[in-house]
Amino acid sequence: MEECWYRSASGARIALRRRQHSASCRELAVRCPRLRLRSLSAATSAAWLAAYGLFVLTENSMVLSAAIIITLVGLIIYLHFVKIDQESLLVIGSLGIQVTSSYASGKESTAFIEMSQVKDVVINEAIHMQKVIYYLCILLQDPGDPQGVSEVVPLFQSSKPRLDCLIEVYKSCQEILEQRKTAPQSS
């Protein structure tokens, strides 16, 4: 397993782990920065101090109870549905591409795309807030038109790696896609 450090579009450090299982099977995982205890403590303290200020003004203890419950429920929702620790891409030349997102709570979300549906993997660009942002996406082949694209599936939406990291992932994917394209011709 090989690990390289890059930066995300926001400037945070991210790690790209590459693992080659075989010549036609590679796993590429982008690890996002972990949840920082300092920022979590600051947000929780600010919410509870505001609730305490409201309690002093209203002298209603329900304000404190509601603040504690709301922050705890909000934290659970954030960890289970929003904060992604790792996004991985498993490319198997003969089968397809598996995209997995691992959340901070331990929950995983997985999607599988059959290789027969994959037209290509490309790096695309978008303009967002006066910045050009690059992202990797899978182009799905249109069943009715072999030259057409039916859907674009963006990858690494949470970690948002910069172009240098995306190029490494792109090259790995293209090597496997090229093997798949040349394999039927050689046999």
Mean pLDDT, 10 residues at a time, over the chain (187 residues)?
90 94 93 82 88 87 87 89 93 94 93 94 91 94 88 94 95 90 60
Q: Residue 15 in contact with residue 5, Cβ under 8 Å?
A: yes
Q: How far, rounded to the nearest angstrom, does the alpha carbon of residue 143 sit from its chain's CA centroid?
A: 27
Distances 133 to 35, 50, 143, 158, 171 between C-alpha atoms, Å: 24, 37, 30, 13, 19
Tell me if 16 sits within 8 A of 161, measured CB to CB.
Answer: yes
Output the pLDDT for position 185.
52
First-to-last alpha carbon distance for the chain, in angstroms, is 32
How many CB atoms neighbour CB 148 within 10 A? 12
d(CA 9, CA 31): 14
Q: What is the pLDDT of residue 183?
A: 67
Partner residues linked to 81 by β-bridges: none
CB atoms within 10 A of CB 152: 13
Q: Are strands 25-31 and 84-92 parallel, antiparallel or unpaired?
A: antiparallel
E strand map for the chain: 2-7, 13-22, 25-31, 84-92, 96-103, 108-114, 118-128, 131-141, 149-154
Cβ-proximal residues to 53 (8 Å cutoff; 6+ apart), any chain: none
